[in-house]
């Protein structure tokens, strides 16, 4: 196990005060903070090596190209890909999933085909498939979750059949925290029996759980750099080489080709055919630094740390808040990640979130880009606290103490009578 108190020293933003209180940052499922090492790597690139890649023989271009390619190699190793050329850099996981839908999907999904997904998907792994189905005359089939927020393999057995072309599924719910990897492995084998592909949303999984794409058995996996200590604007699509090689680019233009005449085009090798135009080289350098940082901590240790924080959160909620708070998702920390979505009974999620901000606690409120899941749960939204490597148990205590105060002021919060002075005791 790493020492989270030592880790915190690498994140200057955690020393900020919000409304007179030390920042408690619990919005990591939305984006993580960046350590000094990542910021320094990006700054070093722009200060000493900045040039366009694959476009020049001069020293700076050669250096930038090497740094950019090495970033692919480090990411490939991080997820145990067979080769770095299976790693395509995108803007984010949203673009990665759209890339699959509108390259592979537009060619291989036909009228009458079916696309299987789940009610717990983030919109990024739901809306592209709906749009594709509408354009191609296909049908989207949704697999439900249990009342406790778990995904059952048996539900996939009922709907995956010879008409299925795609199964799109998250590896971890951004609301419930449900980790589905064991189910997804079985689903991948089932889908392949019918000639379908499996597209996995790893945005909440890859940053928190040791990831082995070969073991998962999926065909595509997308994730974002900014959710794993890296910068915004850089994401990853991993795909099986044999599938990627069959595809034409999602976007075409500079660096996607080997040769162009007025009559024909020869597309570039992997992964460059999918990385059109000038890429986010600085973002790739930052992502490499983030991968190196997480590798030094050890992904098994990252998982253990978050599991312990969730276990401690449940314990403190039960001890101090009781029936005043409803928590969604599995109650077993072994099958959920570092995400705790909840509501305070009798208060809107937005009211709770704004009140927590008065205590310097940053959480997310709303439907978290997962509207159908919230409707399935029967709620209009939720408060989401999400953890990462720099969070500590004392911050859980602050969350619980603040919620206890908010609950004591429930009547005034319901009528809008509470302001910052009342919540903070000033």
Q: Which residues contact 399 (CB under 8 A, 6 or more apart)?
A: 24, 26, 313, 356, 361, 385
Res 422: pLDDT: 47
> What mean pLDDT comes out for the span 74-102?
98
> What mean pLDDT comes out for the span 132-140?
98
Whether the pTM exceeds 0.75: the reply is yes
* CB neighbour burial string for 200-217, b if at least 16 within 10 angstroms, e if fewer: bbbbbbbbbbbbebeebb
Mean pLDDT score of the chain = 96
Q: How would you classify the pairing of strands 257-260 and 364-366? A: unpaired
> What mean pLDDT comes out for the span 96-106?
98
pLDDT over threshold 50, residue 275: yes
Backbone phi, then psi, for 15, in 5-degree steps?
A: -90, 0
Q: What share of the chain is helix, strand, coil (3-state, %, to 5)?
A: 45, 15, 35
Res 1: pLDDT: 87
> pLDDT per residue over 227-263, tens digit each?
999 999 999 999 999 999 999 998 999 889 899 999 9
Instruction: Count how many Cα atoms sit within 13 Å of the Cα of residue 104 in the half-sphere of its side chain.
Output: 26
Residue 407 CA to residue 70 CA, distance in Å, equals 51
Res 418: pLDDT: 55
Q: What domains are there in the chain, each with its CATH number?
A: 4-30+298-424 (3.90.1150.10), 38-295 (3.40.640.10)
| Sign for the pseudo-dihedral over CA of 185, 187, 192, 197 | negative
133 neighbors 165 (Cβ within 8 angstroms):
no
Res 411: pLDDT: 82
Res 254: pLDDT: 87
> What mean pLDDT comes out for the span 110-123?
98
Q: Report helix angle 93-101 to 127-136, nearest 10.
A: 20
β-partners of residue 89 are: 236
Backbone phi, then psi, for 143, in 5-degree steps?
A: -90, 130
Query: If we measure between CA atoms, which residue out of 244, 246, 189, 243 comes closest to residue 218?
Result: 189
132 neighbors 115 (Cβ within 8 angstroms):
yes
> What mean pLDDT comes out for the span 77-92?
97
Res 419: pLDDT: 59
361 neighbors 399 (Cβ within 8 angstroms):
yes
Burial of residue 298, with CB atoms counted within 10 A of its CB: 0-12 exposed, 13-18 middle, 19 or more buried: middle
> pLDDT per residue over 342-394, tens digit each?
999 999 999 999 999 999 999 999 999 999 999 999 999 999 999 999 999 99
> What mean pLDDT comes out for the span 274-301?
97
Residue 109 CA to residue 93 CA, distance in Å, equals 21
> What mean pLDDT comes out for the span 209-213?
98
102 neighbors 127 (Cβ within 8 angstroms):
no
- Quick count: other Cβ atoms within 10 Å of Cβ 56? 13
> pLDDT per residue over 218-236, tens digit each?
999 999 999 999 999 999 9
pLDDT over threshold 50, residue 425: no
pLDDT over threshold 70, residue 421: no
> What mean pLDDT comes out for the span 203-225?
98
Res 55: pLDDT: 86
Per-residue confidence at 167, pLDDT binned at 50, 70, 90?
Answer: very high
Per-residue confidence at 417, pLDDT binned at 50, 70, 90?
Answer: low
Lowest-pLDDT range, 48-52, 380-384, 410-414, 418-422?
A: 418-422
Res 177: pLDDT: 98
Residue 388 CA to residue 13 CA, distance in Å, equals 14
> What mean pLDDT comes out for the span 91-115?
98
118 neighbors 93 (Cβ within 8 angstroms):
no
User: Which one of the listed residues 257, 276, 369, 379 is annotated catalytic?
Assistant: 369
pLDDT over threshold 60, residue 420: no
Burial of residue 266, with CB atoms counted within 10 A of its CB: 0-12 exposed, 13-18 middle, 19 or more buried: exposed
Residue 49 CA to residue 46 CA, distance in Å, equals 6
> What mean pLDDT comes out for the span 6-33?
97
pLDDT over threshold 90, residue 38: yes
Residue 99 CA to residue 110 CA, distance in Å, equals 17
pLDDT over threshold 70, residue 119: yes
369 a catalytic residue: yes
Q: Report helix angle 393-408 to 299-320, nearest 10.
A: 30
Residue 180 CA to residue 168 CA, distance in Å, equals 12
Res 426: pLDDT: 39
């Amino acid at each position: 196990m790493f020492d989270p108190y030592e880790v915190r020293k690498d994140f200057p933003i955690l020393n900020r005060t919000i409304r007179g209180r030390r920042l408690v940052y619990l919005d990591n499922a939305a984006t993580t903070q960046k350590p000094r090492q990542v910021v320094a790597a990006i700054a070093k690139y722009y200060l000493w090596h900045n040039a366009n890649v694959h476009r020049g023989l001069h020293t700076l271009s050669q250096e930038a190209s090497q740094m950019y390619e090495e970033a692919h190699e480090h990411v490939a190793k991080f997820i145990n890909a067979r080769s770095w050329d299976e790693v395509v850099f995108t803007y984010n996981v949203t673009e990665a999933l759209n890339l699959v839908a509108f390259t592979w999907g537009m060619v291989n999904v036909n009228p009458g085909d079916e696309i299987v997904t789940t009610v717990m998907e983030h919109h990024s792994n739901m809306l592209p498939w709906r749009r594709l189905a509408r354009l191609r005359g296909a049908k989207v089939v949704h697999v439900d979750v249990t009342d406790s927020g778990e995904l059952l393999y048996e539900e996939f057995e009922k709907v995956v059949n010879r008409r299925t072309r795609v199964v799109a599924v998250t590896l971890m719910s951004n609301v419930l925290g449900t980790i589905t990897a064991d189910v997804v492995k079985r689903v991948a084998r089932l889908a392949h029996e019918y000639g379908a592909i499996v597209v996995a949303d790893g945005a909440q999984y890859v940053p928190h759980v040791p990831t082995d794409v070969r073991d998962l058995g999926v065909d595509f996996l997308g994730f974002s750099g900014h959710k794993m200590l890296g910068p915004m604007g850089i994401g990853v699509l991993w795909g099986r080489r044999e599938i990627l090689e069959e595809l034409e680019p999602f976007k075409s233009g500079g660096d996607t080709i080997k040769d162009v005449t007025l009559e024909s085009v020869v597309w570039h090798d992997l992964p460059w055919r999918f990385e059109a135009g000038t890429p986010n080289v600085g973002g790739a350098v930052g992502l490499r630094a983030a991968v190196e940082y997480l590798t030094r901590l050890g992904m098994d240790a990252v998982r253990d740390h978050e599991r312990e924080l969730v276990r401690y959160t449940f314990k403190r909620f039960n001890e101090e808040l009781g029936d005043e708070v409803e928590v969604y998702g599995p109650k077993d920390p072994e099958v959920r990640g570092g995400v705790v979505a909840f509501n305070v009974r009798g208060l809107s999620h937005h009211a709770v979130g704004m009140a927590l901000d008065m205590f310097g606690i940053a959480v997310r409120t709303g439907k978290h880009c997962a509207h159908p899941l919230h409707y399935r749960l029967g709620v209009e939204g939720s408060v989401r606290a999400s953890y990462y490597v720099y969070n500590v148990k004392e911050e859980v205590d602050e969350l619980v103490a603040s919620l206890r105060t908010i609950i004591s002021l429930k009547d005034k919060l319901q009528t809008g009578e509470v302001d910052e002075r009342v919540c903070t005791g000033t």
